[in-house]
């Protein structure tokens, strides 16, 4: 998967270019630097080269798709693997890469993609399992466990997830409302199962939360 287990990458990208410059240089682009929160439209340099492999030197990003006006920002995967992950760029929709931290990534275009290394298929399976438990609280725990297992780092006081996700984004991922996620985050904080570790909002999860079943009862 396009991920890194229990490893936090250094964030040191500089000299981020603007989107228009990226688009003009796409055919010769081999490396890309994005500031946290910046997005990049993934388009093939030529019509026949719709397969893309992402190699992350550092950082974590979210891959999203736009499928018409009704579904304009759907999370498809998360990326941050130095070994790379493959995806095929569709003909009739747009894929966006959103940096969740400062990121440096290489883009390698090809004519074909290995079927067993398809990034979107792998994450769609994982995200489907996240949405499977009954109850929004169980799905939220499942989501946090998934993200920490891919991108987190073990610390003496718990498990650090080195990027933040807004409540609306977590709501989209677990099929709940933003107010429901806010309420469950508040409960987790009161139970000392979740803390904000820095001003950017990175999460620190307790050992109890990471080792618990996703169906654990979250209550005051």
Average pLDDT, rounded, for the chain: 82
pLDDT at residue 19, rounded to an integer: 40
Residue of 39, 159, 169 lying closest to 97 (CA atoms)? 39
Burial code of 120-139, b = ≥16 C-beta within 10 A, e = fewer?
bebbeebbeebeebeebbbb
Q: Tell me the two tokens of residue 124.
A: 């769609």
| pLDDT (tens digit per residue) in 143-166 | 999 999 999 999 888 999 999 899
Fold of the CATH domain 135-211: Arc Repressor Mutant, subunit A (1.10.10)
Residue 22, pLDDT > 80, answer no
Measured in whole angstroms, the distance separating CA 202 from the mean position of its chain's CA atoms is 13
The CA angle 184-185-190, to the nearest 5 degrees, is 95
Instruction: Answer whether CATH 3.40.50.150 is correct for domain 19-124.
Output: no
Q: Counting Cβ atoms within 10 Å, is residue 39 exposed (0-12), middle (13-18) or buried (19+)?
A: middle
Of the two residues 205 and 115, the one the predictor is more confident about is 205
Of the pLDDT bands very low, low, confident and very high (cuts 50, 70, 90), residue 116 is confident
Structural domain boundaries in the chain: 19-124, 135-211
pLDDT at residue 220, rounded to an integer: 29
């Amino acid at each position: 998967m396009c991920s890194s287990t229990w490893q936090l990458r250094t964030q040191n990208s500089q000299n981020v270019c603007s989107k228009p410059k990226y688009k003009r240089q796409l055919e010769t682009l081999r490396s890309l630097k994005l500031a946290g929160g910046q997005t990049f439209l993934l388009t093939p340099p030529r019509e026949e080269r719709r397969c893309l492999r992402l190699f992350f030197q550092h950082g974590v990003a979210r891959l999203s798709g736009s499928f018409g006006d009704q579904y304009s920002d759907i999370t498809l995967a998360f990326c941050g693997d130095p070994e790379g992950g493959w995806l095929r760029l569709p003909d009739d929709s747009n894929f966006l890469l959103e940096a969740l931290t400062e990121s440096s990534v290489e883009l390698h275009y090809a004519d074909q993609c290995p079927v067993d290394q398809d990034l979107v298929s792998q994450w769609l399976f994982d995200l489907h399992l996240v949405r499977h438990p009954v109850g929004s609280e169980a799905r939220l725990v499942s989501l946090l466990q998934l993200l920490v297992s891919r991108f987190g780092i073990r610390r003496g006081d718990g498990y650090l997830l080195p990027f933040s996700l807004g409540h609306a984004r977590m709501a989209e991922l677990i099929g709940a409302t933003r107010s429901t996620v806010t309420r469950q985050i508040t409960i987790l904080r009161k139970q000392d199962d979740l803390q904000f570790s820095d001003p950017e909002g990175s999460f620190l999860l307790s050992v109890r939360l990471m080792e618990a079943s996703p169906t654990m009862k979250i209550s005051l």
